[in-house]
A = this chain, B = another copy of it.
């Protein structure tokens, strides 16, 4: 066996980092971190405890620290910033793009974010960030960027091209799509597309080259409005106007798409019982435990409510103990059927092919499907029960209960997301527990009441 064969696990970046940290040379640490890919940086940071994360970041220049912070999930970035000295955190925030900085500050407590904002050298910048954090993160105000180029309506395309060439040098990694023309009062007068600049003569006046009366959004526009306008049009970015009609920022298609993904992530985490923001395993144990219990505790109550049905039928169960085997099966299978209907409803709501009031359509489309699938599943489970105990009545009770409960589950599963949407409750968060509690209760009731009425034949 050669030495190479033994060397199966190469040194991991965080192991190398620990070695470097032991030497205490902050320059070489910073250089090493800078050489890592964004993914490895994230992975290194997530390996460390909060204290070590802070300690590591403190050794960087604020430029490298900002680079690393920007590559982290917002929840983690906010955690690290709140642990840093406010002066250094402020230096980092100054280097970050405005919208990224605002998003991270929003994840911190007001006290923490104010501590950082007060340390900013530029009071105007601090006020600007305060304003940005005042918008909900998924509105136009929360998503807009302040990195864009404005020109005056008095300029010519030649002036614009000079400005643009200067701007491109200063903002190397930016892709510029539009230039915004504002009049003397700061109001948006029009939008110049890059491709129009290319094909116009340098002497053309901005007013002639621009799209006058361009499409805009308001800083208060909510996420659904933004999604609609970007879905319906091919815009790469739209100017956002404040209440006075002045240009306040630019909402890019990219920002709206990232927000869409953040919403989908939130939906997924909510439907899995992760509340209060993202959980990463680098977070303090007690925070993680508390947040998970916030979901589990109400669920244990709902479970007790459902199981109380079983307690009411102890005598029946005592007489036909085999029923206890089928109770969890009927509970789980009904949950599965109901969840499929929930997923289809949530998807149809997202696609806009159904509205939150169309219950009759659900009753019709899910009801028939529930009868078909309920009959098939009921037949399978009923046959198994019959064969196992050689009692046709047991088969009828179990199969009949599963049939009826499947119909109920798909009806409920189809309707609950619509109802929740109508009452502005998050369907991803509440559909599951509401559905399982109802289907468990009904399932237990159906099995046990059917069994009670046939008790003499089941013994």
Q: Which residues of A contact B (CB under 8 A)?
A: 37-39, 42-43, 46, 73, 161, 164-165, 168, 173-177, 194-195, 197-199, 228, 231-236, 253-254, 257, 260-261, 264-265, 267-269, 272-274, 278-282, 285-286, 288-289, 292-293, 295-297, 299-300, 303-304, 306-308, 310-311, 314, 317-318, 321-322, 324-329, 331-333, 336-337, 339-340, 342-344, 346-348, 351-355, 361-362, 365-366, 368-369, 372-373, 376-377, 380-381, 384, 388, 436, 440, 444
Is B329 touching A331 in the complex (CB atoms < 8 A)?
no
Is A198 touching B161 in the complex (CB atoms < 8 A)?
yes
Is B327 touching A328 in the complex (CB atoms < 8 A)?
yes
Known A300-B381, A317-B324, A324-B324; further 19 A-B contacts with Cβ < 8 A: A42-B351, A43-B354, A43-B355, A254-B257, A261-B261, A269-B343, A272-B340, A278-B347, A281-B365, A282-B353, A285-B372, A292-B337, A292-B340, A300-B333, A300-B377, A314-B321, A314-B322, A328-B328, A328-B444
Q: Nearest CB to that of A406 among chain B residues?
A: B296
5 contacts between A and B (CB under 8 A): A46-B354, A164-B198, A293-B376, A296-B337, A299-B333
Is A38 touching B232 in the complex (CB atoms < 8 A)?
yes
Task: Give the distance to chain B from A214, nearest Cβ to Cβ, in Å.
Answer: 14
Task: Give the distance to chain B from A257, nearest Cβ to Cβ, in Å.
Answer: 5
Residues of B within 8 A of A303 (CB): 328-329, 332-333
Is A281 touching B344 in the complex (CB atoms < 8 A)?
yes
Task: Give the distance to chain B from A17, nearest Cβ to Cβ, in Å.
Answer: 15
SS class, residues of chain A in contact with chain B: helix
Residues of B within 8 A of A311 (CB): 322, 325, 388
Interchain CA distance A151-B211 in the complex, whole Å:
28
Is B195 touching A43 in the complex (CB atoms < 8 A)?
no
Residues of B within 8 A of A351 (CB): 42, 73, 280
Q: Nearest CB to that of A310 among chain B residues?
A: B325
Is A307 touching B331 in the complex (CB atoms < 8 A)?
no
Interchain CA distance A325-B303 in the complex, whole Å:
10
Q: Nearest CB to that of A366 among chain B residues?
A: B281
Is A328 touching B340 in the complex (CB atoms < 8 A)?
no
Task: Give the distance to chain B from A2, nearest Cβ to Cβ, in Å.
Answer: 23
Task: Give the distance to chain B from A207, nearest Cβ to Cβ, in Å.
Answer: 19
Is A373 touching B272 in the complex (CB atoms < 8 A)?
no
Interchain CA distance A236-B289 in the complex, whole Å:
41
Q: Nearest CB to that of A309 among chain B residues?
A: B325
Residues of B within 8 A of A288 (CB): 369
Partner of A369 from the list B289, B317, B331 (CB cut-off 8 Å) is: B289
When A and B form their complex, which 9 residue pairs have the shortest distance between CB atoms, in order from nearest? A272-B343, A165-B199, A46-B353, A324-B324, A281-B365, A39-B352, A303-B329, A310-B325, A289-B372
